[in-house]
Amino acid sequence: MKRNRRTSIVLIVAAALAAASPALADRLVSTLGDDAANDCSVLPCRTIAKAVAVAGDGETIEIARGSYLENVDLAGIRTLTMKGGYGENFDEATRDPLAKKGTILSGGKTDRFLRVRAGSGESITLTIDGVVITKSVGTSNAGDLFQPGGGVTVDASAGGAALLTLRQVRFTKNKAATGGAVAIAAIGANSFAAASIVDCRFEQNEAINLGGGAFRTHTLSGGSVDVEVVNTVFIANKASDSGDGGAVLADVSSGSGAHQHAYGNATFQRNSAGGSGGALAGFIFPGSLSIALQNSVLLDNRASRDGGAVDVSSLSNDPNSASDGRVDLRNDTILGNRAKGLGGGMHLTTRLDGSPTIDSLLLNSIVFKNRSGGGGDDIVLDEQVGAITAQLTTSDVGELLTFDTDVTETGTLSVDPRVAKKTGLLAADSPMIDAGTCDGAPKTDIEDQPRPNPVGPDPVKCDIGADEF
């Protein structure tokens, strides 16, 4: 009887599909579906794994609202899209990717939900849109929790390429050794991994010992990574033990290729690291790393060592190997962060031997009211070897502590910025209003309002910070 009831439900769903007559997806998945003798093209399958197995290159898998407990493996040469938030009729007009009871994906507290692998001669392009990935863990075959990527892991190796796009995806309560929600790695010459993360939310994810509470990228031996994050929130993620990067860790080692992170209109709030970088940490040993943030807010993050919000370390033990860092901050607000060590707001350091470098720019940014236990409440530039250069232009900086660093300041302030503590937005009487430069500033602010504001106090002047009043 139970089997017959399921069959009848599937037939009802099929009739609804025919009546609704929208442009159907290539493959359909529903909790009311059935995998048996089904290619998922007319009647929905029960599992995403089955849809992935039968989907052709370039196809879309539409997933109805409901909970799916799965461990999906994607490898080879594939282009695929997974879209959630659908009703049982799979009508695009009624799709709701942000529904309270939406499409919920989980590895089931014993494994991650998704693993993507691209090896020699392989290329994978995957888009995930409108789902929740939750309560998944990065485990080994033996069940030990020491693998990367609790929700999703992406590996490019031996010259392979893996491209991941996340849109309207919420990651919550995932856990792994590193990259509590997502881990991306490119290992080996000509290996390449990229991620585009738009309108997503990472909340209460945890890296238990190696850092990157929400997200970690890693390059090794010539691999390259390119990450772009837009309109995304990182909140209450945690790098436990001595891990760096409460929300994000960018880890570059062994002469990697280009490693780039770019953040626009991002929010980092109440993340914590047992090591350094309460919100974001970069580690270079050796290789090249570029971190750029614009229109971003970093509030109330914590680090047990250095860099309450941001920490970047460039290390080298060989004069012939290059360790090069670039930190570019434009119209950002870094406020109320804490570090037990150096740099409550930001800490940049070059260490060990050889000639590691970090080149930094702070444009129209607020770094104020942060606290540290070891000195330099707001910014510490700690050049132990090699070189750190810093250009501070029309920015509001509280306490700046430098060690043998080349600093150029133009139009900098050191006054209470008067912003809202919970949001970082400017108060009506903020001295940041009209105090910035429009040269090199983003054309819009964190709320996508124009910069300069045509109806602001002075319509041709730009403000300091992520918000344009």
**How many residues appear in the chain?**
469
Q: What is d(CA 342, CA 371) in angstroms, rounded to the nearest whole number?
A: 9
Residue type, 60: T
Secondary structure E strands in 158-221: 161-167, 170-172, 175-176, 182-187, 192-198, 201-203, 206-207, 215-220
Residue 333 within a domain? yes
Say if CB 375 and CB 464 are below 8 A apart.
no
Q: What value does the mean pLDDT take over residues 309-313?
A: 98
Task: Name the residue with tokens 């000195």.
Answer: 375
pLDDT of residue 1: 33
**Total H helices, total E strands in the chain:** 2, 42
| Backbone torsion region of residue 336, taken as left when φ is above 0, otherwise alpha when ψ lies between -120 and 50, otherwise beta | left
pLDDT of residue 415: 98
Residue 445 within a domain? no
User: Residue 146 pLDDT more than 80?
Assistant: no
Q: What is d(CA 109, CA 332) in angstroms, rounded to the nearest whole number?
A: 37
Q: What value does the mean pLDDT take over residues 358-375?
A: 97
pLDDT of residue 466: 98
Q: What is d(CA 87, CA 64) in angstroms, rounded to the nearest whole number?
A: 5
pLDDT in tens, 20-72: 434 456 899 999 999 999 999 999 999 999 999 999 999 999 999 999 999 99
Task: Kindly report whether the peptide bond that precedes residue 417 is cis, defined as omega within 30 degrees of 0.
Answer: no
User: Residue 19 pLDDT more than 60?
Assistant: no
pLDDT of residue 63: 98
Q: What is d(CA 323, CA 256) in angstroms, rounded to the nearest whole number?
A: 10
Residue type, 371: R
pLDDT of residue 110: 83
User: Residue 393 pLDDT more than 50?
Assistant: yes
Q: What is d(CA 93, CA 322) in angstroms, rounded to the nearest whole number?
A: 53
Handedness of CA 426, 431, 437, 438 (dihedral sign): positive
Residue 284 within a domain? yes
C-beta neighbour count of 437 within 10 angstroms: 16
Handedness of CA 195, 146, 219, 76 (dihedral sign): negative
Q: What is d(CA 387, CA 428) in angstroms, rounded to the nearest whole number?
A: 40
Residue 170 within a domain? yes
Q: What is d(CA 360, CA 282) in angstroms, rounded to the nearest whole number?
A: 13
Using CB atoms within 10 Å of the CB of residue 440, give its burial: 0 to 12 exposed, 13 to 18 middle, 19+ buried: middle
Measure the CA angle with vertex 59, ends 74 and 170; round to 5°: 60
pLDDT in tens, 332-346: 999 999 999 999 999
pLDDT of residue 317: 77
Q: Any idea which of 13-17, 91-95, 289-293, 458-462 has the lowest mean pLDDT?
A: 13-17
Closest CA to 27 of 17, 101, 260, 356: 17
Residue 452 within a domain? no
- Write down the pTM of the prediction: 0.93
Half-sphere exposure of 319 (CA within 13 A, CB side): 0
Under DSSP, is residue 4 helix (H, G, I), strand (E, B) or coil? helix
Residue 40 within a domain? yes
Q: What is d(CA 70, CA 72) in angstroms, rounded to the nearest whole number?
A: 6
First to last CA, the chain: 64
Closest CA to 180 of 273, 116, 257, 314: 273
pLDDT in tens, 224-274: 999 999 999 999 999 998 999 999 999 998 877 789 999 999 999 999 999
Q: What is d(CA 155, CA 168) in angstroms, rounded to the nearest whole number?
A: 22
Q: What value does the mean pLDDT take over residues 100-123?
A: 94
- How far is CA 249 from each of CA 214, 262, 355, rounded to the nearest angstrom? 9, 13, 23
Residue 433 within a domain? no
Task: Please report which confidence band the pLDDT of residue 141 belongs to, taking 50, 70 and 90 as the band edges.
Answer: low
Q: What is the mean pLDDT of the chain?
A: 92
User: Residue 437 pLDDT more than 80?
Assistant: yes
Task: Please report which confidence band the pLDDT of residue 109 belongs to, taking 50, 70 and 90 as the band edges.
Answer: confident
Closest CA to 332 of 419, 400, 225: 419
Under DSSP, is residue 134 helix (H, G, I), strand (E, B) or coil? strand
Closest CA to 325 of 399, 386, 395: 386
User: Residue 130 pLDDT more than 90?
Assistant: yes
Residue 180 within a domain? yes
Q: What is d(CA 418, CA 425) in angstroms, rounded to the nearest whole number?
A: 9
Residue type, 81: T
Domain that holds residue 349: 2-410
User: Any idea what DSSP says for residue 209?
Assistant: S
pLDDT of residue 352: 85
DSSP string of 375-439?
A: B-SSEEEEESSSEEEEEEES-EES-EEEES-EEEEES-B-S---B-TTT-PBPTT-TTTT-S--T
Count of structural domains, the chain: 1
Report H helices in 28-167: 48-54
User: Residue 181 pLDDT more than 50?
Assistant: yes
Q: Any idea which of 101-105, 299-303, 349-353 has the lowest mean pLDDT?
A: 349-353
